[in-house]
Amino acid sequence: MADTEKITVNMNVVDLGKIDLLVEQGFYSNRTDLIKSAIRNQLTSHAGIVDEIVVNKAILLGVLKYSKKDLEKLLKANEKMDIKLLGMLILEDDIDEELAIKTIESIKILGVFKAKSQLKKILKSKIK
């Protein structure tokens, strides 16, 4: 399973109190359990829309991981990538900036982008 990411949610005190009440009454084991459940329920209720958009816009789902070797193959074939991803994109630490610029045309990521900070900075203009 892919790594999880921490998010922060600001709530008004009344809603937070309602969450605590449901936890206290045993409906959920803790605040996080309720919040995760609510998010899953919303994602499930919108699953058809998400699936339709993913298909229509040709977006990949999951985790993509590229190494220097992967990008060198693209360079040798004189190809460039247009990356559209819902999930996580990982550019390994062995990828240098010049190689990335020569092989990545554009990046659209809905989720998490992991790469060296310098590489992210160089690719910023390619991120949509």
Kindly tell me the sign of the dihedral angle through the C-alpha atoms of 8, 10, 13, 14.
negative
User: Would you give the end-to-end CA distance of the chain in angstroms?
Assistant: 26
Cβ neighbours of residue 46 closer than 8 Å, sequence gap 6 or more: none
Instruction: Please state the φ and ψ torsions of residue 71, each to the nearest 5 degrees.
Output: -70, -30
Report the pLDDT value the prediction gives residue 2, as an integer from 0 to 100.
55
What global pTM score does this model have? 0.78
pLDDT tens-digit readout, 15-70: 999 999 999 999 999 999 999 999 999 999 999 999 999 888 889 999 999 999 99
Give me the pLDDT at residue 5, please: 86
pLDDT digits (tens, 9 = 90+) for 114-123: 999 999 999 9
Question: Could you state, in order of their start, the residue ranges of all structural domains in the chain?
Answer: 13-45, 58-126
